[in-house]
């Protein structure tokens, strides 16, 4: 695969992942604002979140991920110029994913996170390393 093809694929992945993340984290943020009872402890949809619907830490993390999603979308336009941000995204997601694993394993109520949240943060880390073009390639179109 040529550098240009690889760069184009990389840009597509960043854009798709960014928009999906914005929809996911934006939706969760709205849920924390609305606070539906079904999301709280004991509720049918509680698996969507880690703790109580009134948890302020989750809201802060969601705010960071909403902003991060916007910057991923912006980085997709010119990944070469945003190499440092993309490298940070890889390592921050690896660190976040690794820190979630013990918590998911320790609490039976969080085991579902091994199939949801944890793969979602490992996905960009793995994909960005695998799809990474030579950062000497420049978008020509």
83: left (phi over 0), alpha (psi -120 to 50) or beta: alpha
In a domain, 137, yes or no: no
What CA–CA distance (Å, rounded) separates 100 from 113? Answer: 8
Mean of all residue pLDDT scores within the chain: 87
**The pLDDT value given to residue 44:** 83
Q: How confident is the model at residue 41 (pLDDT cuts 50, 70, 90)?
A: confident
Helix (H, G, I), strand (E, B) or coil at 23: helix
In a domain, 138, yes or no: no
pLDDT digits (tens, 9 = 90+) for 2-28: 878 889 999 999 999 999 999 999 988
What is the number of residues in the chain?
141
In a domain, 136, yes or no: no
In a domain, 140, yes or no: no
* Total of domains in the chain: 1
Q: How confident is the model at residue 141 (pLDDT cuts 50, 70, 90)?
A: very low
In a domain, 73, yes or no: yes
The number of C-alpha atoms within 13 Å of 17 and in the hemisphere containing its C-beta is 25
In a domain, 123, yes or no: yes
**The pLDDT value given to residue 136:** 57
Q: Which residue has the tokens 């040529």?
A: 2
pLDDT digits (tens, 9 = 90+) for 89-121: 999 999 999 999 998 999 887 888 899 889 999
Q: Which residue has the tokens 């490298």?
A: 87
Within a 10 A sphere around the Cβ of 59, how many other Cβ atoms? 15
In a domain, 7, yes or no: yes
What CA–CA distance (Å, rounded) separates 71 from 13? Answer: 14
Arithmetic mean of pLDDT, 40-59: 75
Q: Is the pLDDT of residue 140 over 60?
A: no
Arithmetic mean of pLDDT, 57-78: 92
**Residues 105/115, Cβ–Cβ less than 8 Å:** no
In a domain, 141, yes or no: no
Domain of 38 in residue numbering reads as 3-131
């Amino acid at each position: 695969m040529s550098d240009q093809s690889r760069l184009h694929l990389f840009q597509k992945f960043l854009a798709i992942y960014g928009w999906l993340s914005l929809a996911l984290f934006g939706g969760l943020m709205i849920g924390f604002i609305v606070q539906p009872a079904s999301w709280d402890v004991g509720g049918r949809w509680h698996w969507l979140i880690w703790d109580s619907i009134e948890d302020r830490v989750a809201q802060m993390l969601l705010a960071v991920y909403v902003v991060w999603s916007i910057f991923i979308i912006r980085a997709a336009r010119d990944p070469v110029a945003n190499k440092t941000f993309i490298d940070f995204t890889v390592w921050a997601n690896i660190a976040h994913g690794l820190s979630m694993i013990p918590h998911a394993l320790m609490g039976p109520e969080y085991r579902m996170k091994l199939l949801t949240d944890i793969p979602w943060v490992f996905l960009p880390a793995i994909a960005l390393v695998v799809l990474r073009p030579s950062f000497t390639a420049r978008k020509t179109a």
